[in-house]
Amino acid sequence: MASVTGADRPRKKIQRKRLPVAPYFLALLAVIGLLWAASVAGAGLKFPTPKLGLDLQGGLSMTLSAYLQDSDQEPDDETMEQARQIIESRVNSTGVSEPEVFVEGTENVVVNVAGSDSDEEALRDVGAPAELRFRIVTERITDTSGLEGLPEPEQDGSEEGAEEEATEGEGGQEPADETSEEPQEDTTDDAAAGGAQVDSTDPEDEQAPQGDVTIEDVWEKVGPEAAEMAQSLNSAPDAASAATLEPFGELTAEEVGVLPANVQFYVPNITCEQLDARPPGSVQDPEVAVAACSSPEEVADGETTGTYSEKFLLQPADVVGSDVAEADVGVDQANLNRFVVNVQFTADGADRWGTLTQENVGQDVAIVLDNEVVSAPTIREASRNSTQISGDFSSEEANQLAEQLNFGSLPINFVVETINEVTATLGVVQLEAGLLAMAIGLLLVFLYCLAYYRVMGFIVLGSLLTATVVLYPTVSLLGSQIGLTLTLAGVAGFVVAIGITADSFVVYFERIKEEMRGGRSARSAVPRAWVRTRRTLLSANAISIIAALVLYMLAIGPVRAFAFALGLSTLVNVMVVFLFTHPIAEWLARGKLLNNVHLSGLHTRTLAVPGKAASRG
């Protein structure tokens, strides 16, 4: 605004003067006009508004971080992009509008969803690897550690939920008792064999994925006695042994994850809670035997409350998620209120599934999704092309699983690092807070400059307003074109930049003061001061820009927006100083104003020697 009047009025005068000032104003006007035109066009011929971040308009933002299997090896860009696309399709399938999914840094994927209608639980799962494994069950026991007030660990009759049919749609009514009784004899051998295999491959296969925790550390932590006993287990231990194995209950999920599968399974002190919390990918390797749990079931009858789950010892997987050609949601034939996921195998997968079912008729096959056993039906007869996964699904859950199977599994595992859910109300409060801080900051700086530099304070104000007039359409334009959002941290960056921008004027004005102290008039002091100021400003602002660039490129989290705001402001600041502040100071210096001792704020001579000003004025 200020520039308009500044440009129009002085033109006549300027043409007579040596230094052309008009071109600067014209250039500035051209830049401002262009930016506004572009941003209005970008906003669809409406008044442009910046794209507000989720913390200012309400919404959910989630950061997923790649869980590195090996601490030295970072996922490459291609893998991250692949993961991003899969996550984006999963987010879209939850039915939210206009989600934003982007890669941040080298190992983070950020999911932004505006509005408050998003389903947090569903969104949280978009980072799940969705690795499907079909594994033959070696042995299964009930884990009752989640129950309170239960004297006897065995509880019959309440297990139907976990028990499903594989090839037929009939509800499997036979609980663990029967199925586990028959194979019990040979599973002892199986377990021993499986255990031996795990033991031998353990140092390479089980320990590597965990990065920090090694199996030796864990053995050390539980003590040699417990370690030895646990390793020799091949059936559930008696009560006395269980006491020795107590230290295992204290292990963290990561530590449990590095233990051999038979230890994880047979040590009763290792609960399903610990197993479920293992890092993602803990049971992913199809080549080895693993231990896993079914999802916890709520129990509430009389004195027993809490959850119980089933613990499984599972054989290596022959059929995996990539063998699935197509998945869709169906209804359980036996119980129309329950949903199932129908799975079609690829040609290759069908062969393997056929072999698997043929060889293991009468045994249970566990369908393992990530770290959890979704269901473990008994194989009644051999089948080939398709199967049905039936857990205790709601229609949403069944849909989600089907989508996950269709989109494929993620190339790398992710863990949820942060979730920020901001209500629209809080968003408004935060936006107001940011704008208020900006207004107060501007006002304070203006008042200070007015007091200190008198009339030059208005140049500061004019320059700051010009910067605002340039920044606003720029931010709007970047919002509509490249999706830059204005977040709270970004607002903070702009507020902080007020100070840095105003400082440019301080450098300039102090320099003019210095020249005038040497006895020059404003007319000759201003251009002289500019020559030096220019150099100083460029050096000093180069530092700010380097800082902003480094932060923007290397930092993660909300502070990147801060860095962006700071960098953008610095660039605009340089432009404003060159195209507005300097020319207007030059122009003012030609008049009498700046030579006025009382008004200019540049005079440093005491009133005793006002001769200069008086003689010129």
Q: Copy the structure tokens of residue 245.
A: 């194995």
Q: At what angle do helices 456-482 and 559-576 cross, to 10 degrees?
A: 130
What residues have CB less than 8 Å from 147, skipping those under 6 apart? 299, 304, 305, 306, 307, 308
Ramachandran region, residue 181 (left: φ > 0; alpha: ψ -120 to 50; beta: rest): alpha
Based on the shown chain and the rule CB under 8 A, indicate whether residue 452 belongs to the binding site for other proteins. Answer: yes
- Closest to other proteins by CB, 168 or 417: 417
Which residue among 38, 150, 242, 437 contacts other proteins (CB under 8 A)? 437
- Closest to other proteins by CB, 387 or 413: 413
What residues have CB less than 8 Å from 513, skipping those under 6 apart? 602, 603, 604
- Closest to other proteins by CB, 11 or 517: 517
Question: 480 to 539, contacts with other proteins by CB under 8 A?
Answer: 488-489, 492, 495-496, 498-500, 502-503, 506-507, 510, 513-514, 517, 531-532, 535-536, 539
Q: How far is the CB of 254 from other proteins (least distance, A)?
A: 11
- Closest to other proteins by CB, 40 or 419: 419
Q: How far is the CB of 418 from other proteins (least distance, A)?
A: 5
- Piece of 9-17, 226-234, 317-325, 432-440 that binds other proteins (CB under 8 A): 432-440
- Piece of 90-98, 138-146, 543-551, 592-600 that binds other proteins (CB under 8 A): 543-551
Based on the shown chain and the rule CB under 8 A, indicate whether residue 68 belongs to the binding site for other proteins. Answer: no
Based on the shown chain and the rule CB under 8 A, indicate whether residue 449 belongs to the binding site for other proteins. Answer: yes
Per the document, the length of the chain is 617
Q: Please, what sign has the CA dihedral across residues 522, 524, 526, 532?
A: negative
- Please report which helix (H) or strand (E) contains residue 593, including its range: none
- Closest to other proteins by CB, 38 or 442: 442
Are the C-beta atoms of 89 and 407 separated by less than 8 Å? yes
Q: Residue 460 CA to chain centroid, in angstroms?
A: 40
Q: How far is the CB of 291 from other proteins (least distance, A)?
A: 20
- Closest to other proteins by CB, 205 or 510: 510
The number of residues that bind other proteins (CB under 8 A) is 77
Q: Copy the structure tokens of residue 529.
A: 């001061």
- Closest to other proteins by CB, 91 or 498: 498
Which residue among 3, 57, 65, 94 contacts other proteins (CB under 8 A)? 65
Q: Copy the structure tokens of residue 264.
A: 């994880």
Say how many C-beta atoms besides its own lie within 10 A of residue 13's C-beta. Answer: 13
Question: 268 to 297, contacts with other proteins by CB under 8 A?
Answer: none
Which residue among 444, 524, 591, 616 contacts other proteins (CB under 8 A)? 444
- Closest to other proteins by CB, 22 or 256: 256
- Closest to other proteins by CB, 438 or 599: 438
Compute the radius of gyration of the chain from its Cα atoms.
Answer: 35
Based on the shown chain and the rule CB under 8 A, indicate whether residue 548 belongs to the binding site for other proteins. Answer: yes
Give the angle subtended at the CA of 289 by the CAs of 362 and 324, to the nearest 5°: 70
- Piece of 198-206, 222-230, 346-354, 545-553 that binds other proteins (CB under 8 A): 545-553
Question: 348 to 387, contacts with other proteins by CB under 8 A?
Answer: none
Are the C-beta atoms of 88 and 62 separated by less than 8 Å? no
Say how many C-beta atoms besides its own lie within 10 A of residue 135's C-beta. Answer: 27
Quick check: helix, strand or coil at residue 563? helix
* Interaction mask 106-145, other proteins, x per CB under 8 A: ----------x---xx--x---------------------
Question: 77 to 106, contacts with other proteins by CB under 8 A?
Answer: 105
Which residue among 27, 334, 547, 571 contacts other proteins (CB under 8 A)? 547
Question: 553 to 572, contacts with other proteins by CB under 8 A?
Answer: 554-559, 562-563, 566
Based on the shown chain and the rule CB under 8 A, indicate whether residue 39 belongs to the binding site for other proteins. Answer: no
Are the C-beta atoms of 574 and 538 separated by less than 8 Å? yes
Q: How far is the CB of 348 from other proteins (least distance, A)?
A: 36
Based on the shown chain and the rule CB under 8 A, indicate whether residue 14 belongs to the binding site for other proteins. Answer: no
Q: How far is the CB of 354 from other proteins (least distance, A)?
A: 38
Helix ranges, 322-455 (H): 347-359, 395-407, 424-453
Are the C-beta atoms of 137 and 363 separated by less than 8 Å? yes
DSSP assigned state of 364? B
Which residue among 331, 442, 571, 593 contacts other proteins (CB under 8 A)? 442
Based on the shown chain and the rule CB under 8 A, indicate whether residue 440 belongs to the binding site for other proteins. Answer: yes
Based on the shown chain and the rule CB under 8 A, indicate whether residue 590 belongs to the binding site for other proteins. Answer: no
Q: How far is the CB of 554 from other proteins (least distance, A)?
A: 4
Question: 397 to 426, contacts with other proteins by CB under 8 A?
Answer: 415-423, 425-426
Reduced 3-state DSSP string for 146-206 = CEECCCCCCCCCCCHHHCCECCCCCCCCCCHHHHHHHHHHHHHHHHHHHHHHHHHHHHHHC
Query: What dihedral angle (degrees, nearest 10) is formed by the CA atoms of 390, 395, 401, 404?
Result: 160
Q: Copy the structure tokens of residue 538.
A: 């460029």
Based on the shown chain and the rule CB under 8 A, indicate whether residue 441 belongs to the binding site for other proteins. Answer: yes
Are the C-beta atoms of 94 and 123 separated by less than 8 Å? yes
Q: Copy the structure tokens of residue 343.
A: 């799975």
